[in-house]
Amino acid sequence: MPDFSRSTSPARAWIITGPTSGIGRRTAIELAEHGSVVLVGRDPGKLAEVEAEINARPEGHAVSVVCDFSDIPSVRRAAARVVALGLPIAGLLNNAGIMPARADRAAQGWDLAFTTNHLGPFALTEALIPHLPDGANVVFVCSGVEDPQRKPAVAAGFRGGRYISAQASVRGQWRPGGSSKTGFDAYATSKQCNLATVLAFARETPRLRFNAVEPGFNPGTGLGRDASAVVRLLARYVAAPLAPLIKYWSTPKRAARMITGVLTDGSDRTGVYYDENGKPMVGSAQVRDPAFADRVVAETRALLATIPLDEAPTNR
């Protein structure tokens, strides 16, 4: 672990989740130019690789915290470890996420995508909020697939967020009329809840800044890692080179630059949803309804309150 007390240490620190591949790794490297970086992820070996890469730079400062976002007690313990570092946290980037094509379960029986993408980041953010200084930035990586009116997402097989309730979501139950791929409904709904969280938190806690980003479609990243080998190869070597030429598409390098710009922005902007070019965009009509966003947050809090710190959740 690097010595953050050195006089040469940067004056600010940034927390990033999911920093070991794709957009997350690129963003971690970008953020290292702006201060210390706290890398929060599931795989200790991969975390160590990114940490070593950053610390090999003359002014690089990084430290790793292991966290499984599908396990809420693990998330809370990770938050406590981050706080114990005593770093001058300037921002938090909730980037960790998965997109399974099929429904899958966490070890405790809850829907894997919804738990990993929404409940885990929500729990981490709530645990850290009291320790963030006024003006700190909190950014969630969201996705336009939550909007049933977004044509490229519909063409790809998504049918928007299908939220019924937090309890229904952890059981893998979604509003009827969704995708033929059940994993797509879980992913879109989790991202809808991410965006609802940003909009509700921005109203609740004006001393901090909460914003969301849509990084664009980035073929070849690890998000679709359960796809077939052929699909992954085509995405990496055929689709990825074309990404800069296609609307709504991007690359990890471009996305990382945009996300870093939002996270390090010194303005007072809050409650903003940025597209892949860093321009404000709007989410679905449902998520823009404050009553819906507030309900998502209230139901999420009620669900998480049933989970003791050191006890795994049960299938409800």
- Which pLDDT value is given to residue 309? 65
* DSSP H or E run through 211: strand 209-213
> Quick check: 247 pLDDT over 60?
no
Kindly tell me the sign of the dihedral angle through the C-alpha atoms of 104, 108, 110, 113.
negative
Taking the C-alpha atoms of residue 309 and residue 281, their distance in angstroms, rounded to an integer, is: 37
Can you tell me the distance from the alpha carbon of 183 to that of 114, in angstroms, rounded to the nearest whole number? 10
- According to DSSP, the residues that pair with 13 across neighbouring strands are 36, 89
Whether the pLDDT of residue 177 is over 60: the answer is: yes
- Say whether pLDDT at 315 is over 60: no
CB 199 within 8 A of CB 284: no
Tens digits of per-residue pLDDT, 95-128? Answer: 999 988 788 888 678 999 999 999 999 999 999 9
- pLDDT bracket for residue 220 (50, 70, 90): low
Tell me the average pLDDT across 122-135: 98
pLDDT at 87: 97
pLDDT > 90: what percent of the chain?
Answer: 75
In 3D space, the residue among 2, 305, 267 whose CA is nearest the CA of residue 127 turns out to be: 305
Query: 193: which 2 tokens?
Result: 């809840």
pLDDT of residue 271: 98
Mean pLDDT of the chain: 87
Question: Which band of pLDDT confidence, cut at 50, 70 and 90, is reported for residue 244?
Answer: low
Q: In the beta sheet, which residues pair with residue 16?
A: 39, 93
Calculate mean pLDDT across residues 158-171.
97
Q: Using a pLDDT cut of 70, give the percent of the chain over it.
A: 83
260, pLDDT greater than 60: yes
Mean pLDDT on 246-269: 86
- The answer, yes or no, to whether residue 248 has pLDDT greater than 70, is no
What is the tens place of the pLDDT at every residue in 83-93? 999 999 999 99
Question: The tokens 């449902």 sit on which residue?
Answer: 286
Q: Against a cut of 0.75, is the pTM above it?
A: yes
Ranked by mean pLDDT, which of 49-53, 104-108, 243-247 comes out on top? 49-53
250 confidence band (pLDDT: 50, 70, 90): low
Least confident of 1-15, 165-179, 249-263: 1-15
3-state secondary structure 214-240: CCCECCCCHHHCCCCHHHHHHHHHHHH
> Homologous superfamily of 13-304 in CATH?
NAD(P)-binding Rossmann-like Domain (3.40.50.720)
Q: How would residue 41 be classed by pLDDT, with cut points 50, 70 and 90?
A: very high
Residue 120: helix, strand or coil by DSSP? helix
- Which one-letter amino acid corresponds to residue 313? P
Residue 227 scores a pLDDT above 50? no
Residue 263 pLDDT class (50, 70, 90 cuts): very high
Is residue 245's pLDDT more than 50? no
Please report, to the nearest 10 degrees, the dihedral formed by the alpha carbons of residues 76, 79, 80, 83 taken in order. Answer: -160
- Give Dmax (Cα) for the chain: 58
What are the start-end ranges of the H helices in the chain?
22-31, 44-55, 72-84, 112-114, 120-128, 151-155, 166-170, 182-204, 229-234, 240-242, 252-263, 290-304
Out of 170-184, 224-238, 265-279, which region has the weakest mean confidence (pLDDT)?
224-238
Structure confidence at residue 265 (pLDDT): 97
